[in-house]
Amino acid sequence: MFFRPKVEKYAISGDKEKLFKLLKHRNYQVRIDSMMALFKLYEKEPESAETMRFMLRDKNPRVRNRAAMLFARLGDVNVIDNLFEIITTGALAEQIEVLRILPHYYKWDNDKITQILALALKDKKVPVQGEAIKTIGEMGIETMAFYLLEFVNHPSIRVRLDTVTSLGLTGNPLGTDELIGALTDSNPEVRRAAEASLRKLGTDKALNALKDAPFMLMVKSMNEGVAKRQDTVINIGKQKRYLGLPLLHKACHDEYKNIRMEAIKSIGLLHDPSSLNVLIEMLNDKYYDIRIEAIKNIMKYKNSTALNALKTAMDDPNTNVKIEAKRGFAKLKSRLDSEN
């Protein structure tokens, strides 16, 4: 065991020379503490921090990562690659810190910043994904609204809440349908956030949805009990209420199987191009009969996307699903071939 210098004492006295010497101390934590103390002392003369740039090459990854984040707080674009590396291999706390730094010291129009956020969204840890979602909203990155759409129906209430909030902050109307669907989220806080985001977008479609009395009545019904939700889903299809499509898309993620089933059937009746990806997603439902119903409606779309989805479904572990997928694939392929 060796003596650990009193970094705090040197920091209080402002002894930069002694702190600088400690940057080469054998204890990595001493190096980190000394570096942080020096950055604090150099707060009003950031150019002096350049003398510590060699810390970005420290043998210990924790020291390197801390150095990168300290330089990032100076808005240093030269450490963006280091930040990317932290998102890739850093500890959870470091990943979160990087994502919280970005909105305050960098601009969204830097391609590398959007690459960092895209990578964080793919991280397997929900807190990292959630922080990336919030950062995209804080930075108002309109071009990344598309990446947020897949999180609107996330199992985590917090993630859904942050997603609908950020969709409004990006100002991109691309997420309008998802926000309309979120008006029927199972959580009231998410529903309120969805309404606020629609108002923030301010487009005719967003505002008209909130002003349309019959539509808002459907929304109200979708926030009630199972029987009421199921009846509403059925009626949207029967009455060809195209304005209710976002509600049907949201209903495909309902916890009750019967509601998901009826939502798929109603989507089939409306046969809107925007629903194809939702139907394809339903091929992953845990119930085989839901997957079969999705296949029956996917085959109604005459395009290669639908054909490829049916081809994938032919590998389903359930025999009945496989048979339906093969039948659907053959019929759709025949129709497409006859038109070419």
Task: Give me the chain's average pLDDT, please.
Answer: 94
Question: What's the one-letter identity of residue 274?
Answer: S
Does residue 268 have a pLDDT over 90?
yes
* The pLDDT of residue 48: 85
- Residue 176: C-alpha distances to residues 33, 164, 205, 211, 274 (Å): 47, 10, 8, 15, 12
* The pLDDT of residue 4: 59
Estimate to the nearest angstrom the gap between the alpha carbon of 174 and the chain centroid: 14
Domain assignments of the chain as residue spans, ordered by start:
156-211, 280-340
Q: What does the DSSP assignment read for 114-142?
A: HHHHHHHHT-S-HHHHHHHHHHHHHHT-G
Question: Does the pTM exceed 0.75?
Answer: yes
CA–CA separation, 171 and 326 (whole Å): 42
Residue showing tokens 């969805």: 194
* Domain at 280-340: CATH code: 1.25.10
CA–CA separation, 19 and 13 (whole Å): 10
* The pLDDT of residue 2: 40
CA–CA separation, 339 and 111 (whole Å): 42
Query: Long-range pairs for 218-226 at CB < 8 Å and ≥24 separation?
Result: 218/244, 218/247, 219/183, 219/184, 219/247, 222/183, 222/184, 222/247, 222/250, 222/251, 223/184, 223/191, 226/256, 226/258, 226/259
Estimate to the nearest angstrom the gap between the alpha carbon of 245 and the chain centroid: 22
Range of weakest confidence among 38-42, 180-184, 230-234, 309-313:
38-42
pLDDT tens per residue across span 54-100: 999 999 999 999 999 999 999 999 999 999 999 999 999 999 999 99
